[in-house]
Amino acid sequence: MLTEKEKKTCRMLISGYKKKLRKYVSQNTSLSVNDIVTEYEERFYRYMNESDMGKERARFTSYLNIFSGLVAYEILREKGLTEAEGIKAYDSMCAFIRKLSSVLYKGADLLPNGYKIVRQSLLDDLEGEKRMCWDIEILQDDDKGFTYEISRCLYFDTCKEHGYPEFCKVFCTHDWYAFGVLKHHSKFIRKSTIAEDGTVCHDTIEKVK
């Protein structure tokens, strides 16, 4: 079950998401907006409460990100929307967060130690408290760049368990909004992702000389 602190964090995130979902449904479908939004909130909290957050609640942030999008997609697909329409709905829901991420990384890239900031941000995700969300192998971490592979991903596994593995691609897209803006001190190179038929997710942050 969610703690009171976690419930507060959930409310803060999905309050904005509900507004965006309401807007998309009302403008692009003939579905009942109130029914969709009510089901979205009920199912989101149900999935969050049923999830194993793991050691020291380490999976909480990941499940928060996953279910805040997957639940909307799941409901809209059940109501007859196509994959493209469901993903478009989520894209509209998270547009602000993606824009904010782009701005933050663009700013970091302008700093003299921009590469170190980006590398550390990735390392904190991969080897920090969320380490249990994936199986990783760091292939390169030197003066030329930082390369890693992910062979198990909680995001993909959760989407697949719910019957919608294709939805995981939206989370891969988040990376492009964040790291795709890099050009001064770093460059983002993606070789493959599990969500897009790869056997692993293979990414590099190349250090720009």
Residues 55 and 154 in one domain: no
| Residue 119 contacts residue 142 (beta carbons within 8 Å) | no
Banded pLDDT at 172 (limits 50, 70, 90) = very high
Residues 88 and 156 in one domain: no
Residues 107 and 198 in one domain: yes
Residue tagged 């795709």 (tokens):
180
pLDDT for the residue numbered 204: 97
Mean pLDDT (whole number) for 118-124: 93
What contacts 208, CB < 8 A, 6 or more positions away? 115, 183, 184, 185, 186, 187
Residue tagged 């007859």 (tokens):
80
Tokens of 68: 């805040």
Question: 84 in helix, strand or coil?
Answer: helix
Banded pLDDT at 129 (limits 50, 70, 90) = confident
What Cα–Cα distance (Å) separates residue 172 from each residue in 23, 67, 70, 95, 98? Answer: 24, 15, 14, 14, 12
Residue at 176: amino acid letter: W
Stated length of the chain: 209
pLDDT for the residue numbered 1: 87
Residues 80 and 111 in one domain: no
Q: Which of 55-59, 132-136, 186-190 is predicted least confidently?
A: 55-59
CB atoms within 10 A of CB 136: 18
Mind listing the pLDDT tens digit for each residue in 52-103? 998 889 899 999 999 999 999 999 999 999 999 999 999 999 999 999 999 9
pLDDT for the residue numbered 25: 97
Mean pLDDT (whole number) for 136-144: 95
Please give the Cα distance from 112 to 115 (Å, whole number): 8
Residue 114 structural domain: 97-207
pTM over 0.85: yes
Residues 28 and 70 in one domain: yes
Helix 169-179 and helix 60-78: axis angle, to 10°?
120
Residues 164 and 147 in one domain: yes
Residue tagged 């995130």 (tokens):
13
For the chain, the average pLDDT equals 95
Number of domains in the chain: 2
Residues 151 and 195 in one domain: yes
E strand segments, the chain: 134-141, 145-153, 186-192, 201-207
Banded pLDDT at 120 (limits 50, 70, 90) = very high
Residues 132 and 77 in one domain: no
Residue tagged 């990384």 (tokens):
105
Q: Which of 93, 121, 140 is the last residue of a domain?
A: 93
Residues 115 and 172 in one domain: yes
Q: Which of 43, 68, 93 is the last residue of a domain?
A: 93
Residues 199 and 130 in one domain: yes
Mind listing the pLDDT tens digit for each residue in 102-116? 999 999 999 999 999
Residue at 101: amino acid letter: S
CB atoms within 10 A of CB 176: 14
Residues 20 and 82 in one domain: yes
Q: Which of 75, 93, 111 is the last residue of a domain?
A: 93
Question: 95 in helix, strand or coil?
Answer: helix
Residues 182 and 139 in one domain: yes
